[in-house]
Amino acid sequence: MRAVWLVVAAAIAAALAAYLVLRAVGVQSLRATGRAERRFFIRLFYVGCRSSQLLYGDPFMRRNFFKRGEVAAFEIDVSNPESRDLKVSFSIAPADDPSRTLKVHEGVAKAGSVTRFSFEVDTSQLPPALYLVVAQVEGWGRFSSNTEPFRSTNLESYPWLLAVLDEPVRWETPSEGLPRLIVPEGFGVNIHFIAPSPVEERDLDMIAYAGFKLVRMDFFWHLVERERGVYDLSGYAALTEALRRRGLRPLYILDYGNPHYDGGLPPRSDEGRRAFASFARKAAEEIGAYALWEIWNEPNIAVFWKPQPNVADYVELAKAAAGAVKAACPSCVVLAPATSGVDVDFISRAALLRLLDWIDAVSVHPYRDSRPETALGDYEKLRAAVKGKTVVASEWGYPTAGRYGNVVDVWRQAQYVVRIYLVNLMAGVPLTIIYDWKDDGLSLDDSEHNFGLVSHHVRGPEWFLVKPAWYAVYNLNKRLAGFSPAGRLELGPGVYALRFEGPGPAKIVLWAEEGEREVELSVGAEKVKLARLFGLEEELEAPGGVLRLKVSGSPVIVELPTQP
């Protein structure tokens, strides 16, 4: 009987999960339009592109990003529980300044029923930027996201967005070696797939469109060596080729255990280490120096080094693997130890065991319960321990929902992702990998489902939404591609100003660690151009060649005049 109840419970759970997914994409509805309704709600459906497709040829793809010139289509349901009709208007507004509204549609929500409004926005009439879609309902207020009961998943709870794109970010990067301190050479994201499906090919398209140049992915030992001594790298060869076509370099993590050796635990025996080294050698032989190679992931925590972390065991494995990679491919770049956090103690003990002699750079994952700028002090301590070895940040991010990690809203995530990269450039850290490319699911309780820069992709029809962080990265990379950091300007406590020089007039990126700060910046001209985090452009007065402005947690880019 207990088994029967378990089967019934599992069936109910599966049905509930399916219901939530269907409702997230608008297949399920509490009430059909026109039916009587006794409570207020409002929700948006992304219909997709209603013009010739400039990005994708799939007319059924539900997306919130459009190349300038496409026509974006939306549907919004408004439930009116009142006995009178209500006026409703729909506008768009730049995410950088929601007060600048542009009305795009209006109508009437019928009394006591659900009314569906359909409208289109011709993006050829808009400057490239991230826009909010806003509804104003008479007597109920202003809305820019779904109301209850349509907020049970992350996909449903995101703000209504219209992302208008310019051309993709273009910058050619070297095919070998560590990235240089040039935007966006060392900027990348984590993914969780190998041989890409058609949907995942679109993921790679949008990774490249935003200007990312690196993609980090596990190179799973147990998938490559399913039979002792027999290696199948076909999936990784397909992924590498897909990345190469888009100008993306892989950062492959040689990990984890293999059931053929040491019971599937991290290799501790001589046989296990030799087998792991053979696997690493084969990977380097097949893929080569186009990839960067990292030895394991977060061996300083028990989640990834069971049953307990052991510095000596890890270093022995890392030496064997790094030696094998270098023997097969002397120009390959090897990173280690990929610690969770900036674990100076673990890395210092590894250094005493001569790990640094075998690797090209020290990799860390600077997750923290605070702002990105607090990593600057950690980098100083780490550099003292690694004696001048290059430091890279091979994983770092902030979830937008969940029960663990430093959870922030989607707007703060956008600020922090850009500031992670800027802080690392300021600190001379040439490689930054953002965790994660896309949400791994729909749950608002599981943090792992909410690290993404884009939404979880729901099928039937396919939904593919960018979050504000994706647009912030795209905007930064588009404006700074080819530029290098050229020093920090001192503008007062809590204010960061980083000068960039490159193919054109110098630029200064400014932001405040928290709150707002008033700053004065000498610019040498009476007017300057400024670009905000989500693409809004302005021309500002600078009387006497001094720009006075308020800066916040959202970085802005000031373009300095060309010197005669």
Residues present in the chain in total? 564
Which candidate, 68, 96, 130, 92, places its Cα nearest to that of 532? 96
Q: CA 245, 247, 249, 250: dihedral to nearest 10 degrees?
A: -40
Residue range 434-455: average pLDDT?
A: 97
The band of 130, judged by pLDDT with boundaries at 50, 70 and 90, is: very high
One-letter amino acid at 132 equals L
pLDDT digits (tens, 9 = 90+) for 303-332: 999 999 999 999 999 999 999 999 999 999
Residue 36: the pLDDT is: 56
Instruction: Give me 497's structure tokens.
Output: 């100003």
User: Which residues of 404-459 form beta strands (DSSP E)?
Assistant: 432-434
pLDDT of residue 38: 81
Return the CATH class of domain 187-482: alpha beta
- Say if residue 16's pLDDT is above 50: no
Which pLDDT belongs to residue 90?
A: 98
- Sorting pLDDT into bands at 50, 70 and 90, what band is 35? low
**Angle of CA points 483, 453, 553, to nearest 5°:** 60
Q: Helix 344-352 and helix 311-328: axis angle, to 10°?
A: 70
How would residue 77 be classed by pLDDT, with cut points 50, 70 and 90?
very high
Quick check: 321 and 280 in contact, CB under 8 A? yes
Q: What is residue 562's predicted lDDT score, i.e. its pLDDT?
A: 77
C-alpha 95/C-alpha 173 separation (Å) is 31
Whether the predicted pLDDT of 52 surpasses 90: no
**pLDDT of 6:** 35
| % of the chain surpassing 70 pLDDT | 92
Cβ atoms of 386 and 356 closer than 8 Å: yes
- Model pLDDT for residues 270-307, shown as the tens digit of each residue: 999 999 999 999 999 999 999 999 999 999 999 999 99
pLDDT higher than threshold 60 for residue 34: no
Cα torsion 313, 188, 424, 357: sign: positive
What average pLDDT score do residues 326-355 get? 98
Q: What is the pLDDT of residue 131?
A: 98
pLDDT the model gives residue 13: 42
Task: Select from 3.40.50.1980, 2.60.40.3880, 3.40.50.300, 2.40.37.10 the CATH code of 31-165.
Answer: 2.60.40.3880
Question: Stretch 159-183: mean pLDDT, rounded?
Answer: 95
- Of 246, 277, 267, the closest CA to residue 314 belongs to 267
Domains 31-165 and 187-482 share a fold: no
pLDDT band at 392 (very low <50, low <70, confident <90, very high): very high
Select from 329, 317, 324, 326 the least CA-distant residue to 266.
317
The secondary structure of 301-357 as a DSSP string is STTTSSSS--HHHHHHHHHHHHHHHHHH-TT-EEEEEEEEB--HHHHHHHHHTTGGG
Q: For residue 8, is pLDDT > 70?
A: no
Judge whether residue 53 has pLDDT over 80: no
Q: 445 with 403: CB under 8 angstroms?
A: yes
pLDDT of residue 433 exceeding 60:
yes
Q: What's the pLDDT score for residue 29? A: 41
Question: How high is the mean pLDDT of the chain?
Answer: 92
Q: Give the residue from 68, 78, 4 showing the smallest Cα distance to 34.
A: 78
Cβ partners under 8 Å of residue 1, min gap 6: none
What residue has token string 């100003």?
497
Distance CA(21)–CA(132), nearest Å, equals 24
Residue entry with tokens 């890890």: 314
Residue 57 scores a pLDDT above 90: no
Predicted confidence (pLDDT) at residue 7 exceeds the cutoff of 60? no
The mean pLDDT of 4-26, rounded to a whole number, is 40
Main-chain phi, psi angles of 506, to 5 degrees: -60, 155
- Asked if pLDDT for residue 487 goes beyond 50, the answer is yes
In this model, does residue 33 exceed pLDDT 60? no
Topology, domain 486-559: Immunoglobulin-like (2.60.40)
Rounded average pLDDT over 436-455: 96
Kindly tell me if the per-residue pLDDT of 22 is higher than 50. no
Dist. CA 529–CA 190, nearest whole Å: 34
Write down the domain spans for the chain. 1-29, 31-165, 187-482, 486-559
